[in-house]
Chain A
Amino acid sequence: MKSHLFTLLTAALLALSLSVRGAHAATLPATDDPEARGLAIATMSDETNLGFGDTKTELRMVLTNASGQVSERRMRFNTLENKDTKDGDWNLMVFDEPRDVKGTAMLTYSHILEPDEQWMFLPALKRVKRISSVNKSGPFMGSEFAFEDFSGQEVGKYSYLWLRDEACGDRECHVVERRPLYKHSGYTRSLAWTDTQDYQIRKVVYYDRKDALLKTLTFSKYKKYLDKYWRSHDLYMENHVTGKRTRLVWENISFRTGLSEKDFSQNSLKRAR
């Protein structure tokens, strides 16, 4: 009975912490239940993004190889929040640069454990192709990002294990190990540093299929939108094996632009520009 009461109390505190901004680690499940604590941290982080509606963003990808050569990509990325929290968001990505792929567009209905549904539009042939979503771990546009690194980060995609709390820059972070539950991931696990104040991810370290250290992703230049939604404007991915780096710069982000399901159809994929 006593433990039951404790669980209830924890749940109540957790619920309270979700509604109160700047929640403190004290309201999380105790450190002797690292799985529940890890899940709670991920859930709280996810909840900070709840209700964003839709976003239109412009982004720039700067690729640097081991010898320092630089090349750039530019694209636009529209996202529609799925009101069904048990399912993933919808994305439409349009490439602007390099110029030879201008107008190439990709529509994704992401799911949590089921495979995503993806279509690609090839402007030269005016052809829409349904593509396999198995390829979520391959290099995205020759970069150090894989599609899975910046597609939906829904809570249900991973199992969690809280490892420790430690300083991260000028903040305090929870360090949580995530193991993908979806198929065809390129990683056995990743470690995510989530700060204890705003519950935003500050750093992720990825381990490959053989559990060897592969990449580090650092999030910086966070800005708050609509007084609630945090977005990092600078995502820096370093590949420790190849020495290559990719910086993803989110240049313009607009929220609640009036996008609807109609803007994420195959017809709109052909029109995307």
Chain B
Amino acid sequence: MGALGVCAALSAIIMALTSASSAIALDIELSGYIEPEWRHFPNDGPTPTHEHDFGSIAGEIELAFFDRSGDHTFIVTPFARVDEHDHERSHVDLREAKYQYVNGDWEIVIGIDKVFWGVTEFWHLVDIINQTDNVESADGEQKLGQPMLRVSLARDWGTLTGFYLPYFRLRQFPDPVTGRPTPGITVRDERAIFESKDKRFNPDAALRYTKTIDVFDIGLSYFKGTARMPVLDFGPETYDGVSVVPRYDLISQAGIDVQATIGPWLLKLEGTRREQRNQWYTQATGGAEYTLYNIFDTGTDLGIVAEYMYDQRRLDAPQPFNDDVGFGLRWTANDVQSTTLLLGGVHDLETDSTAISLEAERRLGTSFKAQLEVRLLEKAGTGDTLAQALKDEDMVRFRIAYYF
């Protein structure tokens, strides 16, 4: 769907709703942000056409309509980015475009939405409903809107949610000519191969059950459908020496996520058992978060996070977290400007590859927020092909967002 099509459809919906709102007493809320950004890559890229500096601007608007009872809600949240050099990174996405109906214990959502599952900080293992917005950020935290029908029932015995996901979103990769960070190969999104004969229209389904028992928050999940992460296979059929065609397999995945909240300790565990191409494998991540409140009587807090990441396929795993430890420090100033600092590192125990990140943010005045992010690949271990490919992709990013 082209950006123009999205805009036309959106304005039609918005106009219809705005006129309906005066007739049946809908409340309307508009909010969002606009955010200029500068990214700098100090090292040379794989070719001279790969840029060092990228100016960019992004914006998101949330338009919400809800009736006075609060039972019916309609939300549209378009997101758009324009990047100076990277044409793949210039993109439009509907983060949300959903109708939500609540009746007592029941909740029904039809449309495009974002859903998060899980408890851990470094690797969101069980989280699978939404595709990662891979051109937005390298940490996988940003997600593309996912079309769905979702029905949820919340009772004393827990909350059970069923998902029907009729359409698949492709993972985007930076522009092969100019874009960064780049592993130096071209990923041909438009030629993606699907295991499902229905390709992007494979009917994916998922089920999730959550329950809080005393200090434990427990989630059980099951997903059957197309994997969100593509396999980049460098075999003769998908790789021609320059570009690779991503392959999306059908998977079944059972997941569990548990957090125990005990005093200042948060103990976390996520695990999946997954079937992919007739192979069963286990993935797991877990660890602890401990917060020191009011350190040195400064009124500020320091959180310490340590997590381990495991993939049964070890070095054959097509993703970086196979036998890794993550360590993080989160400093919260508790000041008027909500200043926070986050220092994180991930170390691969098998290959010694080490990545470090620093994120700082602070509100300026009442409506602006500044963010600074530094990502460094401290060490690319020998034999770690992914780390080797990304060893010159260190990045500094600065953003100032205006919220309205």
Query: Residues on A close to B: CB < 8 A?
Result: 63, 65, 71-72, 97-103, 115, 117, 125-135, 137-139, 141-142, 184, 186, 262, 265-267, 271, 273
Asked whether B354 is an interface residue with its Cβ less than 8 Å from the other chain, the reply is no
CA gap between A103 and B294 in the complex, in Å: 26
CA gap between A265 and B293 in the complex, in Å: 27
Residues of B within 8 A of A142 (CB): 334-338
CB of B163 to closest CB in A, whole Å: 14
14 contacts between A and B (CB under 8 A): A63-B336, A71-B336, A98-B338, A98-B363, A99-B367, A100-B367, A126-B114, A127-B116, A132-B263, A134-B263, A135-B301, A139-B335, A271-B100, A271-B107
Given A100-B369, A139-B299, A262-B105, verify A117-B73 contact (CB < 8 Å): no
CA gap between A264 and B291 in the complex, in Å: 26
Contact check: which of A97, A184, A186 meets B366 at CB < 8 Å? Answer: A97
Is there an interface contact between A266 and B301, defined as CB atoms closer than 8 Å?
no
Residues of A within 8 A of B337 (CB): 142
Query: Which chain B residues numbered 19 to 77 have a C-beta less than 8 Å away from chain A?
Result: 29, 31, 33, 64, 66, 73
CA gap between A206 and B359 in the complex, in Å: 36
CA gap between A117 and B154 in the complex, in Å: 18
Is there an interface contact between A65 and B104, defined as CB atoms closer than 8 Å?
no
CB closest residue in chain A, given B115? A126
Asked whether B383 is an interface residue with its Cβ less than 8 Å from the other chain, the reply is no
CA gap between A129 and B299 in the complex, in Å: 22
Proximity string of chain B (387-400) to chain A, C-beta cutoff 8 Å, 1 when within and 0 when not: 00000000000000
Chain B CB within 10 A, most for which of A99, A115, A138, A186: A99
CB of A236 to closest CB in B, whole Å: 17
Contact check: which of B261, B266, B294, B338 meets A137 at CB < 8 Å? Answer: B294
CB of A144 to closest CB in B, whole Å: 11
Given contacts A129-B119, A130-B119, A142-B335, 19 further A-B contacts (CB under 8 A): A98-B366, A98-B403, A99-B31, A100-B369, A100-B403, A102-B31, A117-B212, A126-B116, A130-B212, A132-B263, A132-B264, A132-B291, A135-B301, A138-B334, A267-B152, A267-B154, A267-B159, A271-B107, A273-B29
CB closest residue in chain A, given B291? A132
Residues of A within 8 A of B105 (CB): 262
Is there an interface contact between B141 and A125, defined as CB atoms closer than 8 Å?
yes
Asked whether B275 is an interface residue with its Cβ less than 8 Å from the other chain, the reply is no
Residues of A within 8 A of B159 (CB): 265-267
Chain B interface extent, by class: 35 or more
Residues of B within 8 A of A63 (CB): 336
Is there an interface contact between B363 and A271, defined as CB atoms closer than 8 Å?
no
CB closest residue in chain A, given B365? A71
CA gap between A134 and B263 in the complex, in Å: 6
Residues of A within 8 A of B363 (CB): 98, 100
Is there an interface contact between A130 and B294, defined as CB atoms closer than 8 Å?
no
CA gap between A135 and B141 in the complex, in Å: 26
Is there an interface contact between A100 and B115, defined as CB atoms closer than 8 Å?
no
Proximity string of chain B (336-353) to chain A, C-beta cutoff 8 Å, 1 when within and 0 when not: 111000000000000000
Is there an interface contact between B64 and A273, defined as CB atoms closer than 8 Å?
yes
Is there an interface contact between A125 and B293, defined as CB atoms closer than 8 Å?
no
Proximity string of chain B (269-303) to chain A, C-beta cutoff 8 Å, 1 when within and 0 when not: 00000000000000000000001011000010100
Query: Which chain B residues numbered 350 to 404 have a C-beta less than 8 Å away from chain A?
Result: 363, 366-367, 369, 401, 403-404
Is there an interface contact between B293 and A131, defined as CB atoms closer than 8 Å?
no
Contact check: which of B102, B259, B264, B299 meets A130 at CB < 8 Å? Answer: B259
Contact check: which of A101, A126, A127, A265 meets B154 at CB < 8 Å? Answer: A265
Is there an interface contact between A130 and B31, defined as CB atoms closer than 8 Å?
no
Residues of B within 8 A of A138 (CB): 293-294, 299, 301, 334
Residues of A within 8 A of B212 (CB): 117, 130, 266
CB of B100 to closest CB in A, whole Å: 7
CA gap between A78 and B210 in the complex, in Å: 24
Asked whether B195 is an interface residue with its Cβ less than 8 Å from the other chain, the reply is no
Asked whether B217 is an interface residue with its Cβ less than 8 Å from the other chain, the reply is yes
Is there an interface contact between B263 and A273, defined as CB atoms closer than 8 Å?
no
CB of A253 to closest CB in B, whole Å: 18
Residues of A within 8 A of B334 (CB): 138-139, 142
Is there an interface contact between A271 and B336, defined as CB atoms closer than 8 Å?
no
Contact check: which of A125, A126, A130, A184 meets B266 at CB < 8 Å? Answer: A130
Contact check: which of A102, A127, A130 meets B261 at CB < 8 Å? Answer: A130
CB closest residue in chain A, given B127? A127
CA gap between A72 and B266 in the complex, in Å: 32
CB of A208 to closest CB in B, whole Å: 9
Query: Which chain B residues numbered 306 to 330 have a C-beta less than 8 Å away from chain A?
Result: none
CB of A247 to closest CB in B, whole Å: 14
Is there an interface contact between B31 and A134, defined as CB atoms closer than 8 Å?
no
CA gap between A218 and B19 in the complex, in Å: 47
Residues of B within 8 A of A117 (CB): 212, 261
CA gap between A128 and B293 in the complex, in Å: 21
CB of B53 to closest CB in A, whole Å: 26
CA gap between A273 and B363 in the complex, in Å: 22
Given A135-B301, A265-B159, verify A125-B291 contact (CB < 8 Å): no
CB of A97 to closest CB in B, whole Å: 7
CB of B8 to closest CB in A, whole Å: 27
CB of A120 to closest CB in B, whole Å: 12
4 interchain residue pairs of minimum CB distance = A99-B403, A142-B336, A127-B116, A139-B334
Query: Which chain B residues numbered 251 to 268 have a C-beta less than 8 Å away from chain A?
Result: 259, 261, 263-266
CA gap between A132 and B119 in the complex, in Å: 13
